Chain A
Amino acid sequence: DAEITQSPRHKITETGRQVTLACHQTWNHNNMFWYRQDLGHGLRLIHYSYGVHDTNKGEVSDGYSVSRSNTEDLPLTLESAASSQTSVYFCASSEGGGNTDTQYFGPGTRLTVL
C-alpha cells in the first residue's frame, strides 16, 4: 500500500544545531507540504512543493529550508535550531489535481530544541 513516512519520529537537539527531518511518500504525488502543529495555532504551512525542483515558502518559513530532487522526498532542514522551533512537524502529500485534492499526512516528528 502507498504511504507517507517521516523520520525520525522523535528528535531532541540543541540550539544552533542543523537538523534535517525526512519525508518520503510512495503515492507518486506531485505536491508535498510541511506543517508545524502548535497548541492554539492548528497547522501552519512552512514550505511546499508542486513538483521536482519546485519549492515555495509558506506562512512560517523563516529558519527552514527544503529541496525537492525527486518525486518521493521532501526533507525539511532547520538551519540553526531555535527553541521557538520546538513543535510537532507533519509532512503531507497530494496528487496535484486541483483544489479538490485530499492531503495525506505522515505520522509526524516531535522535535524538541533545548
Chain B
Amino acid sequence: GNSVTQMEGPVTLSEEAFLTINCTYTATGYPSLFWYVQYPGEGLQLLLKATKADDKGSNKGFEATYRKETTSFHLEKGSVQVSDSAVYFCALSDPTGGFKTIFGAGTRLFVKA
C-alpha cells in the first residue's frame, strides 16, 4: 500500500543553519507529493508540492525535489529562522488510492535564536 516515512524529530537548529528533513515514499501509481506545515495551535497548511518526477516545489525559501529513482522528497532550507519552528508533514496523493492524502508522522523543528 501507499505510505510515507519521514525522519523522526525533534530537529533542533540554530538560526541561519541549513535544514534537511528526509522523506521517502511508497506508492503504487504516480503520486503527487506535498509538504505541509503546522504552526502551534493551528491546522496544517500547504508549504509546497510537486506533481511529477523531477519537479521542484518551492515556497518561503523551502525547496523539495520529486526524485522517482530514490522515491524521495526531502525538504531543504538554506537558512532557517526562529519563525520556522513548527511541525512539518510529508504527504502523498495517489490516484490509485482514490485521491486520498497519506501523511507522514511529522517532524518537529525547533530553531534557536
Interface size class of B (residues with CB under 8 A): 20 to 34
Known contacts A98-B95, A100-B93, A102-B49; is A41 also within 8 Å of B105 by CB?
A: yes
Q: How far is the CB of A47 from chain B (nearest CB, A)?
A: 11
| Complex interface residues of chain A between 53 and 103 (CB less than 8 A to chain B) | 56, 58, 90, 92, 98-103
Report chain B residues within 8 Å CB of A90: 43-44
Does A52 have its Cβ within 8 Å of any Cβ on chain B? no
Q: How far is the CB of A16 from chain B (nearest CB, A)?
A: 29
What residue in chain A is nearest B44 (Cβ atoms)? A105
Cα distance A105–B94 when bound, in Å? 19
Is there an interface contact between A42 and B101, defined as CB atoms closer than 8 Å?
no
Cα distance A58–B98 when bound, in Å? 11
Is there an interface contact between A40 and B93, defined as CB atoms closer than 8 Å?
no
Cα distance A92–B91 when bound, in Å? 14
What residue in chain B is nearest A107 (Cβ atoms)? B43
Cα distance A41–B105 when bound, in Å? 5
Is there an interface contact between B89 and A42, defined as CB atoms closer than 8 Å?
yes
Proximity string of chain A (11-43) to chain B, C-beta cutoff 8 Å, 1 when within and 0 when not: 000000000000000000001010100001111
Proximity string of chain B (79-113) to chain A, C-beta cutoff 8 Å, 1 when within and 0 when not: 00000000001000111001111011110000000
Is there an interface contact between A99 and B46, defined as CB atoms closer than 8 Å?
no
Q: How far is the CB of B109 from chain A (nearest CB, A)?
A: 15
Q: How far is the CB of B69 from chain A (nearest CB, A)?
A: 20
Known: A40-B105, A42-B106. 6 other contacts (CB 8 A): A35-B103, A42-B103, A99-B51, A101-B93, A101-B99, A103-B101
List 13 A–B pairs whose Cβ atoms lie within 8 Å, in order of A's numbering: A35-B103, A42-B106, A43-B44, A92-B43, A99-B32, A100-B32, A101-B93, A101-B99, A105-B45, A106-B43, A107-B41, A107-B42, A107-B43
